[in-house]
Structure 1
Amino acid sequence: MTATESARLVIAYVSADEALHRDFVADPPDAHIVRVRNPDPTLRDEFEKAGFLVTPGWVNWTARVRSSEEEHLAGLVPGERKEVRRIRRILERDGVTLHVTHGIDEGDLERFLTLYDRQVARMPHGVNFLRRQLQRIRAERDQVIAGFASADGVMVAGCLGWIRRDGALLHLRFSATDTSGRLNGAVRAVYLKMFQAARERGCDWISLGNDPALYGHTVQPGLFVFKSRLGFTPVASRAVDVAIPGDEADLILDLGPLARPSVVLAHHDAPVSGPVPLDEAPRLRAVVLSDGLEHELQGLRTDAVAMIERRRVPARLRDDRGE
């Protein structure tokens, strides 16, 4: 067994044999999560019986590009359609402008980077993936599809995307927004502009990028709710990109520094081993983890996943959330 710690979350890595034969309740490691990397897909039922959740490790949120914006909006839940109309009225009233560019100049990239840095700094356990890939982004700046919202000449929301080599998918990999309450909806408006950009370029699909399958640590459950309400459906990232790492089997022993509730997106059907047509990608199930108190995810779009399961995770270690 080896263990790693990241932002106070301790993960113990074990072999499949130890995972399936050790009683982690009677003999628990000093860790919040026990994980098996790349578990044998034929043993998925055995892992689940042992209390593990077999997850894709990473998930990608995808939506079909409809023939018109009206058709896309018609597919959203009524509350979200109403929210889109409300946001547009506010942005128009406040003089917020929206624009999409093919390619990104250094000035816009620096402004977006500042916005992204500030957003990550506000997260409880944020990871600055944009900074990690900045050199490659600069080298490929001509291929970027960028969408921005600006108010009084200041960027308040934006996202960066790339069209997949086969031209079928616009992959939105980075997004950011400021903290202004009146502009919180600007990123929604930017996403709608990016749908239009995908439509104009003949893409069949659009994606909101890759997230860890666990919502409650580096990404929060609210992001899960937000993406589901925008009409996106989570699939295993390998359905989009074969280079994404393989499955993980997780046994959640203690929520520790995780959000209450947290959400894990786990396999519901047989996992995929590589790219598949997105409309044939196996659906995932959402497992809502709580410590026994009444924690609810408000506004969850339940049809985004195959099913929603709830699990209580008892407190075992001290609460390391730093609250």
Structure 2
Amino acid sequence: MEEERRRADARRRGAHIWGHHVKIVDEHGLSVALIETADLTAEPWLSSDRHIDVVRMLKPPVGLRDDLAARGFICKPEMLTWLARLESDESTFLARLGNKSRQDIRRAQRQAAGSLREVVQDESVDAETLDRFLALYEERVSGMQFGVPYARRHREAVLHGPQKYFAHFAFEHDELVGGCLVLECPEEDAIRIRFSAVTESWRRSSLARTLYFSALQTARSKGYTWATLGDEPNLYGHLTQAGLFSFKVNMGFTAVPSQDFSDPTGCDEADLVLNLATLKDPCLILGYANPSDVTERALYGNLITESEIDARKFSAHFLTEMKTRPPRNLRGARD
């Protein structure tokens, strides 16, 4: 429910009415024009005197999706869930990955084992260590252009429930240099790695990989079948960057529409990226390969870029293809 309220709040902020059906909202620095079916033919975003980054239709009707695609819109799930079967042990899990991914993970684990002390709090998380982690998390988020420190809102839930969390922390001598908070979801037979952070120096050593794989092992020991890396907006280049997509693919996870895995608020939307004035280049969106068939859940990739880019860097086994396209380069006026 908190996620649903967050989405609704974002859409209400900074609304500017064109008519009865269309408004512009500020979603963490991104200017999004929300349109309805009646607005599509007139394309009112072309004549707006407001700056617009993305034009979006929420819950696009199936019968309109081919028309939307012809106009450059990408029909897509609003949120993605990154999902993986835990398998019986780590070796079996790693066997699914490519050689380089396995080597990167093993190298990160060796480096951490030689320098760090890992603390696992698998029954309860203590307040002092949690607060040290939250300070590190907020420090890291503050360095992001559109970072939002969501973890602080969950402090009481982590400590006192009713949901059950466990945590993995890494220390270099007495300094906490990384950690992750993991939510147990027995009704889904899954764990969710909700929040993680590592120092800049240990980010370069891929400590996050080590912490994640340690958390997956704890999940196996608790008898879970699935793990997720949480839900995130299907618009890389804004709150998250395209590099995070590749990181999660190389960790052995698959992106699926969030509504296909226990997200009751998950829905579809159609986005038209007008420009990259606010979004990072490249911007990456996963769209439905066959948007007019709601029973077809396969996804394909859209890299939106103004640069020459090797799309193979963002390949993933679960995508039907990866397309590259420029933005529409319609900037509008800055407020």
* Alignment equivalent of 2:94, drawn from 56, 73, 91: 73
* Alignment equivalent of 2:172, drawn from 141, 151, 154: 151
Q: 1:289 offset after TM fit, Å?
A: 0.5
1:230 aligns to what?
Answer: 251
* Alignment equivalent of 1:170, drawn from 191, 203, 208: 191
Q: Is the 8 A contact 2:118 2:168 kept in 1?
A: no
Any residues of structure 2 matched to 1:195-210 within 5 Å, and which? 195-210=216-231
CA root-mean-square deviation:
2.7
1:160 aligns to what?
Answer: 181
Aligned residues: 312
Q: 1:243 offset after TM fit, Å?
A: 2.6
SS at match of 2:229: strand
2:232 aligns to what?
Answer: 211
**In structure 1, what residue type is equivalent to 2:309?**
H
1:287 aligns to what?
Answer: 302
Q: Is the 8 A contact 1:234 1:305 kept in 2?
A: no
TM-score, structure 1 normalization: 0.87
Any residues of structure 2 matched to 1:21-36 within 5 Å, and which? 21-23=41-43, 27=47, 30-36=51-57
Structure 1 residues 2-54: Cα deviation after superposition (integer angstroms, max 9, x where no partner): 101244421111112212x1346864663111111122234322322221111
2:131 and 2:95 map into 1 onto residues whose CA distance is 36
**In structure 2, what residue type is equivalent to 1:22?**
A
Q: Is the 8 A contact 2:169 2:179 kept in 1?
A: yes
Query: Does the C-alpha gap of structure 1 residues 127 and 32 become closer, same or farther in structure 2, counting only changes over 3 Å?
Result: same
**In structure 2, what residue type is equivalent to 1:250?**
D
Q: Is the 8 A contact 1:103 1:141 kept in 2?
A: no
1:263 and 1:43 map into 2 onto residues whose CA distance is 23
SS at match of 1:224: helix
Query: Does the C-alpha gap of structure 1 residues 87 and 141 become closer, same or farther in structure 2, counting only changes over 3 Å?
Result: farther
* Alignment equivalent of 2:144, drawn from 109, 123, 143: 123
TM-score, structure 2 normalization: 0.84
Q: Which runs of 5+ in 1 are unaligned?
A: 274-279
Q: 1:183 offset after TM fit, Å?
A: 5.9
Structure 1 residues 159-202: Cα deviation after superposition (integer angstroms, max 9, x where no partner): 11222232511111111111115763111111111111121122
1:194 aligns to what?
Answer: 215
Moved over 6 A (4+): none
1:264 aligns to what?
Answer: 285
1:319 and 1:91 map into 2 onto residues whose CA distance is 49
Note if 1:132 corresponds to 2:153: yes
1:36 and 1:125 map into 2 onto residues whose CA distance is 22
Any residues of structure 2 matched to 1:47-62 within 5 Å, and which? 47-62=68-83
Q: Is the 8 A contact 1:55 1:249 kept in 2?
A: yes
